[in-house]
Structure 1
Amino acid sequence: MRTAFKILLPILVVAIGIGAFRVLKSTKPEQTPPEVQERVWRVDVERAVPQRLAPELTLYGRVETPDLLRATASASAWVTDVAVRDGELVAEGDVLVRLDERDFLPRIEQAKAQIAELEAEIESERNRYETDKLALEKEKRLLDLARDAVARQERLKTQQVGAEQALDEAERAAVQQALAVSNREMSLADHPTRVRALEARLASNQARLQELQLEYERATLRAPYDGIVTGVEVTPGDQVAKGQVLARMFALDSLQVRARIPAPYQAELLTALRQAGTLPAAAEIGDTAVALTLDRIAGEAGPSGVDGLFHVASDPAALRLGQMLTVRLERPARDGVIAVPFRAVYGGGRIYKLEDGRMVGVDVETLGEHRGGKDEVERLLVRSPQIKAGDLIVTTHMPNAMDGLRVETLDEGRMAKAPGGGAQGAGAASAKGSAQTQAVQ
């Protein structure tokens, strides 16, 4: 009996345990299976407002002038005074550099003396001409007398009264007198030639005198116009040679900006210039805005593009020669353009709209940069027929952006109140800057 009890007891315990397990399993509470929630990303958005806007082209230019004055020494001389320094503003007529006048006056007096000597020679030549004319008449008379004497001696010889020697002497005297008349006539004939030679020498010396006087006038170098001195090459006491540069300056109103225009935009801008004449542009120097206009395109191009020449349309006082500027050139305006933050564009040609709580990708044409005013944030102009006025553009840059990604706006209430959207939505995006992506369960 005891042996049977020992055998049945473990079986009974196991049976009771199995029964209790089944009872507990059948009476346990039901658990709801966990639900998987889709992740929602919070983004900032703006309403699309198509407008007519002009894309801007950013260029890098250099201030230059085609009229840089290089004031040079008019002659070899010593410098006595330097009246300006580099960077000084000068007015028309202000003295720049003075040269020693003692290096000029002796040469001027010498030229005057040579002119006076030549004038005296010309007067003497004219007197000589008048004297030669009177002398010629007398010498012709003497020639007639000598010939009469020869004729008389020939008659006497024929009559066998005169001597052979007397005839020879009469003929010799006649020949000598004929030679004298010939010399006098030649002297009279050469008179115009001698006068012209003297007058030519006189004119040469008079021109030399004018040159020396002009050099003397230029011994004091003065500013020919209002401008800025860009360099002074001498100091008092220096000896300079003719043609040596003493100072440099330029007129403010002659300044222009030369900037390289990339080759892809060359044809577009040439067409726009032919139609409009000029294109507006601007540059900034600190807090000062400088208005420019693209007047013309350089005649020679390079592999990377062609130079554009910009006229300074505002006060050029803040500019300096050789200064580097960032130039913003307005290209021809386009219709149906939307200005979006740069962070809203992916890969240079794709943005995302918000539709029914999900991101929808749209391929767009990027037209260029735009900044409406000095204090406005620079934006990118895009255009696409798939974007309509009032569409919500996602402006938060998403590293995992893709079609169908579920998102919600950071401020649903404000976006719902924005009338047609552009100004307030853009303000919200600008205020928040580049929003960080956040996930909520």
Structure 2
Amino acid sequence: MEALHRMRPYLPPLLILLIGAGLFWVLVVTRPEPPAKEEGEPAWVVDVRTVSPGPRAPTLSLYGRLESPRHSTRTAAVEGDVEAVPVREGRVVAEGDLLVRLDSGDIEDDLAQRRADLTEIEATIEEARAQHRADQESLEQQQALVELAGRAVDRAEELAGRDMGSRAELDTAREARRRARLELIRQRLQVESFDARLEGLEAQRQRAAAQVAQAERDLERTRVEAPFRGRITSVEVAPGDRVRAGDELVGLYDTDALEVRATIPATRVEAVVRALEAERTITATVRVDGRELEAELDRLGGRSPQDSGGVEALFRIREEAPADLALDRFAEVTVEMPERPGLVAVPYSALYDHDRMFVVREGRMVRLEVERAGQHAVADGPSLALVRSPELRDGDRVVTTQLPRARDGLKVRVREDGEAGAGTP
């Protein structure tokens, strides 16, 4: 009894512990069973783009330089001192505007001398023609004198035969006839050789006229003018410089004949050649210095860059280009290629290793091998990739989310509108 009396202070706490343990055991036994957790494969949330294969025109992005086939370097045609240079580099000039003027004093003096030579030979020709007319009249008179001398000889011989005239008179008559005949021969030669002498004089006149024309051209060449409307690229001289024939003076290019030279990749050359052979127009948009210019493929170049398998192409600017565009400026060219059948446009994020993409079929990713056909320019957004594959179907949903572990057969779920978390399981 004494022991029970000593334990009485510990009985209430012990009783409380026993009651608590009993209550805990009752709760454990009577608790509801939680639902069994389903074990399965997670579905990755992805974005998709519904596609429909069809004919589309790929665009090709190229980079090139601005140039002009009408780039002229004006050179001095004559020797002289530079008198004036009214243009400056970068200025735009009209056709016929003065670029450089050379001192023309020496050439004007030479021209005056050439003209005097021509006048002199023309006067000589007129004198020869007048002399010829006189020679023709003299020939007629000389012919009459020969006839008279002949009759005088006949009379003298008749008188001498009848012993009525002296021998001396006969000899004198014969001598006069001989001199008359010699003069007739000289006169006839003078008349007959006139045409040959005239040809020689005409040759001298033509030579003198050519020298006058040359001097007149030289005088004109002291004014170096713009051959077309263009922009000045270089000025090599200043007033007071002495230049010789062939020295460079001013460079300029035609602002109405601008081209862009760019290299077409080897994989696109065949399609371009076929289009040109079919006389199909290939248009392009050229971006240079923040400006967009309409252009078209004019021709393929005659050379291929050594470090590229492509071919150089020349795109002609179709519209009037701003006059302040400088040659050799960097230009971005977007080429509209001929249409190809069976293409779809997808974001570049849909491509894996450039030649693979995935579509969603029955909740699984299906891998497709694709062929890149170029890109498709979008006016208000980034460009899209154009691809083709014989396995693509109308209405296929292409996965546009890049997944780190993308594989054939991966379970996916298309993200709902407004749902966050694409690219996560």
Give the aligned residue type for 1:340: V
CA distance in 1, matches of 2:349, 2:106: 72
CA distance in 2, matches of 1:199, 1:78: 36
Equivalent of 2:227 in 224, 228, 238: 224
How much has 1:102 moved relative to structure 2?
0.8
1:337 paired residue number? 343
Give the aligned residue type for 2:417: G
**Structure 2 residue matching 1:129: 3-state secondary structure:** helix
Give TM-score scaled by structure 2 length. 0.80
Equivalent of 1:362 in 368, 373, 383: 368
Give the aligned residue type for 1:329: V
Equivalent of 1:351 in 357, 362, 381: 357
CA distance in 1, matches of 2:157, 2:95: 91
1:97 paired residue number? 100
Give the aligned residue type for 1:272: A
How much has 1:49 moved relative to structure 2?
4.9
The aligned runs of 1:169-188 (5 Å cut-off) are 169-188=172-191
The question of 1:328 aligning with 2:331 is answered no
Q: Deviations over 1:75-131 (max 9, x none)?
A: 222111111122211123321111112132111101110111012111211221222
The question of 1:122 aligning with 2:121 is answered no
2:58 paired residue number? 55
2:389 paired residue number? 384
How much has 1:281 moved relative to structure 2?
1.0
CA distance in 1, matches of 2:195, 2:92: 58
2:137 paired residue number? 134
2:416 paired residue number? 412
Q: Deviations over 1:238-290 (max 9, x none)?
A: 22223433222222121222333334433322333344631111121243212
The question of 1:314 aligning with 2:309 is answered no
The question of 1:398 aligning with 2:403 is answered yes
Q: Deviations over 1:9-67 (max 9, x none)?
A: xxxxxxxxxxxxxxxxxxx999x999876565554433335454211223333333222
Contact preservation (8 Å) 2:288, 2:330 = no
Number of aligned residue pairs: 392
**Alpha-carbon spacing, 1:53–1:319, altered in 2? closer, same or farther (3 Å):** farther
1:195 paired residue number? 198
Contact preservation (8 Å) 2:358, 2:366 = yes
The aligned runs of 1:296-307 (5 Å cut-off) are 296-298=299-301, 304-307=309-312
CA distance in 1, matches of 2:360, 2:130: 112
Contact preservation (8 Å) 1:56, 1:369 = yes
Q: Deviations over 1:184-237 (max 9, x none)?
A: 111111222222322232233223222322332232222233211122222212
**Structure 2 residue matching 1:253: 3-state secondary structure:** coil
**Structure 2 residue matching 1:200: 3-state secondary structure:** helix
Contact preservation (8 Å) 1:77, 1:100 = yes
CA distance in 2, matches of 1:140, 1:314: 83
5+ residue gaps, structure 1, are 1-27, 416-427
Contact preservation (8 Å) 1:143, 1:178 = yes
Give the aligned residue type for 2:281: T
Identity %: 36
CA RMSD of aligned residues (A): 3.4
Equivalent of 2:247 in 244, 247, 256: 244
CA distance in 1, matches of 2:267, 2:393: 29
Give TM-score scaled by structure 1 length. 0.77
How much has 1:406 moved relative to structure 2?
3.6
Contact preservation (8 Å) 1:78, 1:103 = no
